[in-house]
Structure 1
Amino acid sequence: MSAIYKSEAGAREIQRRYQEALRTWPVPAEHIRVPTRQGETFVIASGPEQAPPVLLLHGSGANTTMWRSDVTTWSRHFRVHAIDLIGEPGLSAPSRPPLDSDAYALWLDDVLEALAITSTAIVGISLGGWTALDYATRRPDRVTRLALLCPGGVGRTRSAWLFKAVLLRLFGRRGVRRSARTVAGLEDLQDESVLDDLMLTFAQFKPRTARLPVFSDDALRSLTLPMLVTVGDRDALFDSADTARRIRRCVPHATVRLLPGVGHAIFGQTDSILAFLRT
């Protein structure tokens, strides 16, 4: 049994549903399996092969389907590579090397080498945002610009959500559903299928328990590339006001957007990110 799933049957069901979603990817795409030092990594490449590259790094407990609503627009202008992070419920290896190491940067080195990419823009959300920041601080010559949504490793990690989630679980399925809405920031979500997929995943998937390492002020100050950072002021996982303050102080050239009434899940940023990537 894979260490990141609760059962083999659960792993098969999650991957079956993922494969179904991949068959309805909204634009023509190439499925690429890249060998790396952490095991095989799955990449979906969309858009003109000669267009400038953009890497997409999803959040924890997710996979490339997170980008379905964005890829049609972005792939008109870029060669978009949506990557399944290792150790997450996609088609990449279940490896979870220590976060407080250069392992993820070395892993991305392997991915970029296999894709013949020398430098690229990166769009990352949550854990993917942390991964993008980690790579940009270690490999500044390989990252041209960063668009980050609720990135980890900058603002303080919140813990109050955990106690609320535990209490809500005492109320059975209804409580679990409410807990998922609260933690992900999906209280106003109208499409219930998104919540259904989230509940299926976390019923069978074992999320990471280690806290994301926090970037030092010096590490953030080393970032000279163009940056767009978008956070929601109701994020249950990260202190978004703290994220905004640190980025504004340490990376004064960055554009920081603090969205009122928005939680950890941030939607509707396709056009604003495209405008930033094309600047």
Structure 2
Amino acid sequence: MTIGQFRNDAARLRFLRAYDTVLDRLWPGPRKAVDAPTAFGITRVYRSGSGSGSPIVLLPGAGGNSLMWHRYVPALGAHREVITVDTIGEPGASVQQAPMRDGHDGAAWLDQLLTALDLTSAHIVGCSYGGWLALNHAIDITPDRIASLTLLDPAGFAHPGPRFYRWMIAGALAGLAPRPLRPRLARLVTNHTVLERELMSLALPAAAYRRRLPPATLFTDHDLQRLRTPAQFLLGAHSALHDARQVADRLADRAPDALVEVVPGAGHALPMDRPELVTDRILRFTTT
């Protein structure tokens, strides 16, 4: 496996110019960019917000970066410091320098990132692939520094199938539709990401990025039984990745201490489909 990178320097610069433009337009309030060293490369994070207690660390889904969380920063940052992450190996401002081969490497990268940021305790929120990385960390690594996990329709409970790829294609096509049609199409395909005009503008320059991260392998029953970190799972009722009810039933059996909620009116793009609910659940879980 090689490392994730842009096709060439011109493509990288084109993306970063677009990225910085969208970041300046969307980011709510002050931020501090930090480039944290790990064995897998330099990871860019943005530190925002204020407040006491363990910070909230936000991990995006596959193909995403810190920008997907821009609507969450004001509400979460009013209570705690918020750290948004450009996951190594995804199109963003991070630079991958060594391959990530499997979930164990993903867990090691996240642990090294928390160490580089000098975080002895953090609330981790992970969406989709970011949820898979966070859950691997909680299972693989001594979880002392993780105050809680909030996993938003995490990967690792079913292999992506035809339904998932149809959902992705439908979302891409909806994003190309005339703007007045997009709200209706977003509801139809259960993917409100298509309404994020600024984020969608990054899709074309991001297509020049060659992603080389490992697939989200499935968690075994033994893996789930090893989970000791306080965790909540929010599952999109209409997720195209897995059967949310089956995942909920399995978690109730194998990780009975975890909180599990199947969210109506939401699909795999749960943070975009139901942002108010997700914000409420994060704040509720991180203040108990």
The answer to whether 1:19 aligns with 2:23 is: no
Contact 2:33 2:44 in 1 (8 A): yes
User: How far did residue 148 of structure 1 move?
Assistant: 0.8
| Mapped contact 1:159–1:237 kept (Cα < 8 A) | no
Query: For 2:205 and 2:256, how far apart are their aligned partners in 1?
Result: 38
* Equivalent residue letter for 1:109: D
TM-score by length of 1: 0.84
Q: How does 1:156-175 map to 2 (within 5 A)?
A: 156-162=159-165
Q: TM-score, normalised by structure 2?
A: 0.81
Q: Residue in 2 aligned with 1:154?
A: 157
Partner Cα separation in structure 1 for residue 86 and residue 207 of structure 2: 20
Query: Deviation per CA, 1:173-217, whole angstroms, max 9, x where unpaired?
Result: 66xx99xx78x9555667361573364255433445853111111
Whether the 8 Å CA contact 2:73–2:82 is kept in 1: the answer is: yes
What displacement does 1:56 show? 0.9
CA RMSD in angstroms, aligned pairs only = 3.3
Which residue of the partner structure matches residue 68 of structure 2?
Answer: 66
- The alpha-carbon deviation at position 260 of structure 1 amounts to 2.5
2:219 corresponds in structure 1 to 215
Q: Percent identity?
A: 35
Question: Which deviations, in whole Å up to 9, do the C-alpha atoms of 1:133-155 show, x marking residues without a partner?
Answer: 01111122221211110101124
Aligned equivalents of 2:172, 2:197: Cα separation in 1: 20
- Any idea what SS the aligned residue of 2:16 has? helix
- State how far apart, in whole Å, the 2-side matches of 1:20 and 1:235 are: 31
Does the 8 Å contact 1:6/1:205 carry over to 2? yes
Deviations, residues 125-173 of structure 1 (Å, cap 9, x unaligned) = 0010001101111122221211110101124533333367679999xx6
One of 244, 251, 272 as aligned partner of 2:281: 272
Question: How do 1:35-184 residues align onto structure 2 when only pairs under 5 Å count?
Answer: 35-48=37-50, 50-95=52-97, 97-139=99-141, 140-162=143-165
Measured in 2, the distance between the counterparts of 1:141 and 1:52 equals: 12
- Number of residue equivalences: 273
2:257 is equivalent to residue 257 of structure 1: no
Return closer, same or farther for 1:216/1:13 CA change in 2, 3 Å cut-off: same
Q: Distance in 1 between matches of 2:50 and 2:171?
A: 47
1:193 is the counterpart of 2:193: no
Q: Which runs of 5+ in 1 are unaligned?
A: none
Contact 2:147–2:230, Cα closer than 8 Å, also in 1: yes
Further displaced range: 5-14 or 62-71: 5-14
Q: Which runs of 4+ in 1 moved over 4 A?
A: 163-170, 184-190, 207-210
Which segments of 5 or more consecutive residues in structure 2 lack a partner in the other structure?
Answer: none
Is the CA contact (8 Å cut-off) linking 1:41 and 1:111 kept in structure 2? yes
